[in-house]
Structure 1
Amino acid sequence: MSLWFLLSLSVLQGVTELFPVSSLGHTLLVPALFGVHMDKHAPQLLPFLVALHLGTAIALLWYFRERWVALIRGFFGSLAGHKSDDGHMMWALIIGTIPAGLVGLVLEKRIETLFHDLRIVAAALMINGVLLWFGDRLQRARMHRAPEKLTFRQAFLVGLAQIGALVPGFSRSGLTMIAGNAAGLTTEKAAEFSFLLGTPIIFAAGLLELPKLFHARDQLMTAVVGGVLTGIAAWLSVRFLMRYFEGRGRLASFGVYCVIAGAICLGWFMLHQQPV
């Protein structure tokens, strides 16, 4: 894999990780469409992917840094018996993180078998688009309803939605935004909760593999550059998305894109041999 391919992959990861269009699906489909074979056993790939996750997580932490400071203060205040909205939100995030974390550890290897058939990935991307369209309809049907503070049960259910993103083609941010809308949040608040909820998962994914990054010292500089590019792309993406949803942006727009992109990819891989 060339340096230019890896750097392009880092920008693609930074954008699609936060847009509700499935970063894993795009990482698998886009290179294949251009005939680029991704060797999963290539020595530079794993440390590079570790850096991309860390770059995305750091971008999210920086963008929501004031929010995280308030949440952490609220959390420790709750331990001392002081109730607050920030403390409640922090516990909701902790509870929401548990389902995907546990299921990911148990089923990660089995789900990896889905990566080999890009037709399944393309079909999943189309289904993701349909879900985004329905989620948008749900939110618009509740526009006149005051947003609710998530209960712990609702936070757990939103966290369950993250499990779907373990299948390539389904978007973690998209599924959790839909679940947040179903719980009564506005699209803006659902997006914020989705990004806050995803930060520990993304950060943990990078930290767990961090030793492998330092073991591949000859690939360290490429990984660092890729991580920085991903971080910049992720920061710009979350900044755009928060403003987009503050302006009553619609999930349906991303849904239409996913259906069209998934259909094109599905048709292509039905007619052409997949890279091996």
Structure 2
Amino acid sequence: MTILEAIILAIIEGLTEFLPVSSTGHMIIGSSLMGIQSNEFVKLFTVVIQLGTILSVVVLYFKRFFQSFDFYFKLLVAFIPAIIFGALLSDTIDQLLESPLAVAISLVLGGVVLLYADKWFNNPEIDSTEQISYPTAFKIGLFQCLAMIPGVSRSGATIIGGMSQKLSRKAAAEFSFFLAVPTMLGATAKKLYDFYKSGYEFKDNELTLLLVGNIVGFIVAIIAIKSFIGYVTKHGFRIFGWYRIVVGGIILILLLAGKSLQIV
């Protein structure tokens, strides 16, 4: 992987991680177009650069993260389903992670849901994340488990989950961002631990690539989050639905054309 390829992948990660469009699907297309072959370091890179995107949430919502312990307990309650289902379904998840077809289908189906989400959930009663109850947090956490299916989109699942529990579009999106912190941090920590246990030794400029990827991902994610909140508050999710359908269609076309696609 070159510095330029690392920057491009980090831009893709920063732009798509917090949008309901599936970062996995975009990573597939981006890495395939650049001819990046999946290996142990590439797999590590695509997970570890999430640290930069996590940091962007903490920086943007700094005061929220330090205003009360109640905030952390709600995130913990919402995170519990992912821990349970992740442990129970780890083998099934690993199999799905090897299937670009599953990603494409999930993108299209999720896109259809987003086309109608604003119509289905148009009577919000909760306008801020502070109003979220513990049972509601847990239910949103259950929706997050759908993102274990590659292509579903973690942010998309949690945002729809929030809206189904009477959260406004802005409140649902913000809680999705907050929930990403323990979820992505846990996934990154596990990946780093597995990587360490494997005895892998970094080569050439790989540590530099990780540093550059995190910095780029951090900057891009801040821009993406600010733009996303402003847009969905005014216009809703329909455009993201169509976008997902197009991206899923592109992956299906590439697969039908015999293109070999890998989930990095």
What TM-score results when the alignment is normalised by the length of structure 1? 0.83
1:217 and 1:40, CA in 2 relative to 1: closer, same or farther beyond 3 A? closer
Amino acid at match of 2:24: L
Residue 236 (structure 2) aligned to one of 226, 232, 250: 250
Amino acid at match of 2:58: L
1:29 is matched with: 29
> How far does the alpha carbon of each residue in 1:175-203 deviate from its partner, in whole angstroms, 9 at most, with x for none?
11111111111101111111111111112
1:47 and 1:31, CA in 2 relative to 1: closer, same or farther beyond 3 A? closer
> How far does the alpha carbon of each residue in 1:20-78 deviate from its partner, in whole angstroms, 9 at most, with x for none?
1011122123323x26243233xx324423430111111111111111011xxx21xxx
What TM-score results when the alignment is normalised by the length of structure 2? 0.87
1:40 is matched with: 39
Amino acid at match of 1:142: N
1:81 is matched with: none
Tell me, yes or no, if structure 1 residue 2 matches structure 2 residue 2.
Answer: yes
Amino acid at match of 2:181: T
Give yes or no for contact 1:22–1:165 (8 Å, CA) kept in 2: no
1:230 is matched with: 217
Tell me, yes or no, if structure 1 residue 132 matches structure 2 residue 114.
Answer: yes
Give yes or no for contact 1:20–1:172 (8 Å, CA) kept in 2: yes
SS of corresponding position for 2:242: helix
1:60 is matched with: 57
1:273 and 1:208, CA in 2 relative to 1: closer, same or farther beyond 3 A? closer
Amino acid at match of 1:20: P
2:188 is matched with: 206
Tell me, yes or no, if structure 1 residue 197 matches structure 2 residue 189.
Answer: no
Give yes or no for contact 1:35–1:275 (8 Å, CA) kept in 2: no
Give yes or no for contact 1:56–1:202 (8 Å, CA) kept in 2: no
1:107 shift after superposition = 2.7
Separation of aligned partners in 1, 2:81 and 2:132:
16
1:236 and 1:274, CA in 2 relative to 1: closer, same or farther beyond 3 A? same
1:146 and 1:232, CA in 2 relative to 1: closer, same or farther beyond 3 A? closer
Separation of aligned partners in 2, 1:38 and 1:235:
29
1:156 shift after superposition = 0.8
Give yes or no for contact 2:9–2:30 (8 Å, CA) kept in 1: no
Amino acid at match of 1:172: R
1:106 and 1:5, CA in 2 relative to 1: closer, same or farther beyond 3 A? farther
Query: Which runs of no fewer than 5 residues in structure 2 stay unpaired?
Result: none
2:134 is matched with: 152
Separation of aligned partners in 2, 1:25 and 1:50:
14
The Cα RMSD (Å) is 2.3
Separation of aligned partners in 2, 1:25 and 1:110:
19
Matches within 5 A, 1:215-226: 216=202, 218=204, 219-226=206-213
1:2 shift after superposition = 3.1
Give yes or no for contact 2:126–2:132 (8 Å, CA) kept in 1: no
Separation of aligned partners in 1, 2:181 and 2:257:
38
Query: Which runs of no fewer than 5 residues in structure 1 stay unpaired?
Result: 76-86
Query: Which 4+ residue blocks in structure 1 deviate beyond 4 angstroms?
Result: 145-148, 211-215
Residue 99 (structure 1) aligned to one of 78, 81, 104: 81
Give yes or no for contact 1:158–1:179 (8 Å, CA) kept in 2: yes
1:215 and 1:268, CA in 2 relative to 1: closer, same or farther beyond 3 A? closer
Separation of aligned partners in 2, 1:127 and 1:253:
14
Separation of aligned partners in 2, 1:47 and 1:35:
18
Aligned residues: 255
1:108 is matched with: 90
Separation of aligned partners in 2, 1:114 and 1:29:
17
Amino acid at match of 1:64: Y
Residue 167 (structure 2) aligned to one of 170, 181, 185: 185
SS of corresponding position for 2:155: helix
SS of corresponding position for 1:18: coil
Work out the percentage of aligned pairs sharing the same amino acid. 28
Residue 49 (structure 1) aligned to one of 36, 46, 49: 46
Bigger Rg, which one: 1
